[in-house]
Amino acid sequence: MVSDSSLFFKTNWNPLSQTQLIALLKCLVYLQSLPEAALEEAAEELEKIADFYSDRLPQTNLPTNPVSSIKGKLKAAQVRPPIVLEA
């Protein structure tokens, strides 16, 4: 429902963490402060961002590499002569 000064909608806030909720509210505050002419541009950019992230694999589906250790010995530092550039 939309009136001259308010917008009402329902959404499920439960799956959002506190950090995600704060980020969402920040976005809403920024969008609310934009002039009307900029809202269409903002909507287009947000759609591009949503498309970009929807095409990516979720982090939980990424393969993981097993942990391994590498052993080695450090050698003494070598001092090399300076590089001289000729003009």
Dump pLDDT digits (tens) for 4-46: 566 666 666 667 788 888 888 898 889 989 998 899 999 999 9
- The pTM of the full predicted model, rounded to 2 decimals, is 0.47
d(CA 41, CA 37): 8
Please indicate whether residue 71 or residue 5 has the higher confidence score (pLDDT). 71
| Residue 12: predicted pLDDT | 67
Span 42-64, pLDDT tens digits: 999 999 998 888 877 565 655 66
82-85, long-range: CB < 8 A, 24+ apart: none
How far apart CA 68 and CA 66 sit, in angstroms, is: 6
Of all helices (H) and strands (E), which one includes residue 72? none
Beta pairing partners, 7: 2
